[in-house]
Structure 1
Amino acid sequence: MNGNKRVAVVTGGSRGIGRAVAERLAADGQAVAVAYGSDDTAARETVLAIEKAGGEAVAVRADVADEEAVRALFDAAEHQYGGVDVVVNAAGIMRLSPLAELELDVLDRIHRTNVRGTFVVNREAARRVRSGGAIVNFSTTVTRLSLPAYAAYAASKAAVEAIGPILAKELRGRDITVNAVAPGPTATELFLDGKSEEQVRQIAGLSPMGRLGTPEDIAEVVSSLAGPARWINGQTVYVNGGAA
């Protein structure tokens, strides 16, 4: 492969927004390591879709909260493509419950993936990403909307938002940007699961655009942060069609 090609690691890259991001970065000309948690079939489908479109990709199974697995993920990307320039941490889980009814083991699972996972992936990225690179984490617009039943999830994502500006300063002098993307309601399997058509219509109405976002809407912003948008650093970018 071309030694000048940028290389991206995308966690949560086999489904939903993560897959759209992986496909968009590949279309932008980056080689992509598609990291996934458990769905081998979905990961293979993502890689095949990228290759069919003329891109380069490899699937790597990794638990983002496991430091050894994340280290192996970065090793695989470096072995396959020669280095890492972009890290997009799209892996995350969401469980909804009123706070008074929340089981603490559910809280622990959310925070293990969303908070510890972000720390583990960002720590490895800070050690490996090459000059001129970018780190993009995922938050949520729910931190602004304050919707009932989202307390545990929103709290985990508020922690993600706190990480970026600090890491951006810690990487001073290395020409590496660190930002977070905070999607609004987006038409993914994760979001639509368990919601009635009426609920979906009501939530879509939060945006003056009158619709849900699409994974491609989010991927477009990630593409900019992962490439040309070098003067955006230490920020959370809300991508929600004006919902909040």
Structure 2
Amino acid sequence: MAEHMLKDKVAVIGGGEKNLGGLLSKAFAEAGAKVVVHYHTSQKEAEETVRAIQDAGGQAVSVQGDLTDVASTRQLFDTAVDTYGGVDVAVNTTGMVLRKPILETTEEEYDRMFGINAKAAYFFIQEAGRRLEGHGKIISLGTSLLAAFTDGYSTYAGGKAPLEHFTRAAAKEFADRSISVNVVAPGPMDTPFFYPQETPERVEFHKSQAMGNQLTHIEDIVPLIKFLATEGSWITGQTLFANGGYTTR
């Protein structure tokens, strides 16, 4: 089904320069998509990702921006439209993790966590909804803590929780244009974002809660996002938990 393939589609990847976003940018480009790689502060990684895509014969550009600033989000999509003529797929992998007890969390930390995990996610969905072509796909990165009952992550899980509601509302509001809107919620991922928040003992605990005694790998998540962007386009308004059976107690 040609309408579900990525060849010649335009994909905007929020946080597309490294880790999961970087691998996703390369995977989309390998499948034939033209990729707009967003980054906030990691310019070197963004340039390396774009160069790797171009060296492999693909098309990509990088765009700097702070997605907690709505004007930056608009500029990101402006670049996609100006460069490639439109947008077909928008994936937001950005987020910020903080593990801290409620009694020790400052107002500044609360505002920063909800800014990137909730506000930026909301306006990314909004702008994607304005710019996407019919039959477009919007995919946000959540967390399996949305379905968990744990300590320490009140502002992280709390900031990601609204994503489920944003997604369900957008799925209904954009349905007349056949735009699907979903959340992919990994378990704790084996990336540099995770380890500073945890002790070695807790890392081992998190591993023990998933199949294979391992954290979620970014290579496990990319195929699911690609599926939602192609053959899985009829799925909408959903949160897909991809975590190896991860649970907390």
Q: What residue number does 1:90 align with?
A: 93
1:76 to 75, 79, 82: 79
**CA positional deviation for 1:193:** 2.7
Q: What residue number does 1:239 align with?
A: 242
Tell me the TM-score normalized by structure 2. Answer: 0.92
1:211 to 200, 208, 214: 214
Q: C-alpha distance in 1, partners of 2:97/2:199?
A: 18
Match of 2:159, as an amino acid? Answer: S
Moved more, 16-25 or 177-186: 16-25
Moved more, 144-153 or 103-112: 144-153
Q: C-alpha distance in 2, partners of 1:131/1:210?
A: 41
2:105 to 90, 102, 106: 102
1:29 to 27, 32, 43: 32
Matched, 1:164 2:135: no
2:225 to 217, 222, 225: 222
**CA positional deviation for 1:51:** 2.1
Q: What residue number does 2:54 align with?
A: 51
Q: C-alpha distance in 1, partners of 2:219/2:82?
A: 29
2:19 to 5, 9, 16: 16
**CA positional deviation for 1:198:** 3.6
2:130 to 127, 133, 139: 127
Q: 8 Å contact 2:98–2:197 — kept in the other structure?
A: no
1:183 to 186, 199, 210: 186
Query: Once the two structures are aligned, what percentage of the paired residues are identical?
Result: 36
Q: C-alpha distance in 1, partners of 2:172/2:38?
A: 27
Give unmatched runs, 5+ long, in structure 1.
none
Q: 8 Å contact 2:97–2:194 — kept in the other structure?
A: no
- Say which SS state the counterpart of residue 148 (structure 1) adopts: coil
Q: C-alpha distance in 2, partners of 1:52/1:121?
A: 29
Count of aligned residue pairs for this structure pair: 241
Q: Deviation string for 1:128-159 (max 9, x for gaps)? A: 00011100011100122222110110011111
Q: Which residues of 2 match residues 128-167 of structure 1 at below 5 A? A: 128-167=131-170
Q: C-alpha distance in 2, partners of 1:227/1:65?
A: 28
Tell me the TM-score normalized by structure 1. Answer: 0.94
Q: Deviation string for 1:25-47 (max 9, x for gaps)? A: 11221111001111111111111
Q: 8 Å contact 2:99–2:197 — kept in the other structure?
A: no
1:202 to 196, 205, 208: 205
Q: C-alpha distance in 1, partners of 2:240/2:54?
A: 30
- Say which SS state the counterpart of residue 189 (structure 1) adopts: coil
